Structure 1
Amino acid sequence: MTLFTIDEVRKTFTNGEVKEEILKGINLSLKEGEIIALVGASGSGKSTLLTIAAGLQPASDGQVIFEDNNLTSMSSEEVRKVRASKFGFVFQFAHLVPFLTVEEQLLLMLDVSESKLKKSEQKNEVDRILKLVGMDHRKDSYPSSLSGGEKQRVAIARAIIHKPKVLFADEPTASLDSKKSKEVMLLIRELTKTLNITTLMVTHDEEMLAYTDRIIKMSDGVILQNAL
């Protein structure tokens, strides 16, 4: 089932009198439960495409349709609510709050996403998700005591605690060594399939492509190849 449709999306930046078209009419459909990798050289437009799909910046033209809702015609507040409740985000660095424990990081995300779970249910859900990512034994730990791989596992747990429909991952393994990168990608794949999440990921690491279902190659603001 198609969950996300990107239709003729363009993005133009203006610097003085100079206009630069970063995205040049992108068309892309994302299905439930698949992992899609966006690859290409720096400046190809892949990160711009991810942030537009995620509602983090507007398109100059075209439409982004999510669950039959046109994000490009929504108000900024409406888009924010979709992001908070339906999307999860994992970046190159974990960006954990330094003064919150692992458990508190996830509870904060439930508050931000306006979870309807009762407080007692939230604690149980945090325990369940931390067990899924293999971090239940560190729930009382602070970020300063975690390794890079552990921090990224917590970041992934935080990104999925509110049961998002889409996970956006921008270079999620770039700050990790090869062994930890493979562990994190295996975890993302397992969670994507187990929870039926659609994952859209930007990566430069070709070894990570083995964990994806589809590879989208971009260059100069266009899709060169959409490979199964």
Structure 2
Amino acid sequence: MIFSTQAIKKTFKTGEVSEEVLKGIDLSLAEGEITALVGASGSGKSTLLTIAAGLQSPSSGEIHFNGQDLSAMSQEEIREIRAGSFGFVFQAAHLVPFLTAEEQLLLMLETAKSALSKKQRREEATKILDSVGMGHRKNAYPASMSGGEKQRIAIARAIVHQPKLLFADEPTASLDSIKSHEVMKLLQSLTKTLNISTLIVTHDEDMLTYADRIISMKDGRLA
């Protein structure tokens, strides 16, 4: 397993009140697989995803990635791993409005400190845009794109630096059913082709047909 968590707990405090959102989670992810997290609102699935992705810290427990213990690292070390080895897709595409599709990907390569030359980065961006069916829109700005096109660009941006892990939080929630299936087919294809590990949070049961594993959460525990 390329990624695992051990006994992850997360407690949020509001004044005198404490709420334990995650209650000892053991989770493992394998390469080339899509793992879907499902559960009612408030079950803790999005909190687990953001902790696994290094976007927030657990209250206790361990996170292991590629033989490294992330829970023992500094925030700066985690940021470097996140930038170079993790990809993110969210409900909203969060594209930079003044950058073209190609420039969105080039910015990601710069953030990930890619060793590629400027020419190689452009070639890689073109290749990835072609792979998600958006090569013809590489010079387009977000304002001229449909919701489905924006999400495809967001996926391309998430994988252009060849991450080991891809985290997707409700990636189809803002799309209609046709576009949702298109996006999930794309994520499934990329997961297999690039041999990455994809963790998805979703409420849409129709999207579960694309998952290799389905894990249910209830009240902060894996059901």
TM range (shorter): over 0.9
Which aligned runs of 4 or more in structure 1 are off by greater than 6 angstroms?
A: none
Counterpart of 1:105 in 2: which secondary structure? helix
Which residue of structure 2 aligns with residue 51 of structure 1?
50
User: Structure 1 residue 206: deviation in Å?
Assistant: 0.2
Aligned-partner Cα distance in 1 for 2:55–2:149: 26
Name the residue aligned to 2:107.
Answer: 108
Name the CA distance, whole Å, in 2 between partners of 1:217 and 1:95: 28
**Equivalent pairs, count:** 223
Q: How far does residue 28 in structure 1 lie from its aligned partner after superposition?
A: 1.0
Give the structure 2 partner of residue 209 of structure 1: 208
Q: Which residue of 2 aligns with 1:73?
A: 72
Q: Is residue 17 of structure 1 aligned with residue 19 of structure 2?
A: no
CA RMSD of aligned residues (A): 0.4
How far apart are 1:34 and its partner, in Å?
0.5
What's the TM-score once normalised by structure 2's chain length?
0.99
Which residue identity is paired with 1:93? A
Displacement of 1:220: 0.4
Normalised TM-score (structure 1) = 0.97
Indicate the residue corresponding to 1:40 in structure 2.
39
Asked if 1:29 corresponds to 2:54, the answer is no
Task: Quote the residue 1:174 is aligned against.
Answer: 173
What residue is the counterpart of 1:122 in the other structure?
121
Give the corresponding residue for 2:135.
136
- What is the CA–CA distance in structure 1 between the aligned matches of 2:46 and 2:144, rounded to whole Å? 31
1:195 matched to 2:194:
yes
> Which letter maps to 2:45?
K
Equivalent-residue separation in structure 2 for 1:14 and 1:101 (angstroms): 41
- After TM superposition, the structure 1 stretch with the greater mean CA deviation from structure 2, 169-178 or 64-73, is 64-73
Identity %: 66
User: What CA distance in whole angstroms lies between the structure 1 residues aligned with 2:182 and 2:202?
Assistant: 15
Tell me how far apart the structure 2 counterparts of residues 14 and 209 of structure 1 sit (CA, whole Å): 33
Distance 1:64 1:47 in 2: 16
Instruction: Give distance in 2, aligned partners of 1:71 and 1:178.
Output: 37
Which residue number corresponds to residue 90 of structure 2?
A: 91
> 2:149 is matched with which residue?
150
Please give the alpha-carbon distance, in whole angstroms, between the structure 1 residues aligned to 2:213 and 2:22.
Answer: 20
Alpha-carbon distance in structure 1 between the residues aligned to 2:182 and 2:45: 24
Q: How far apart are 1:17 and its partner, in Å?
A: 1.3
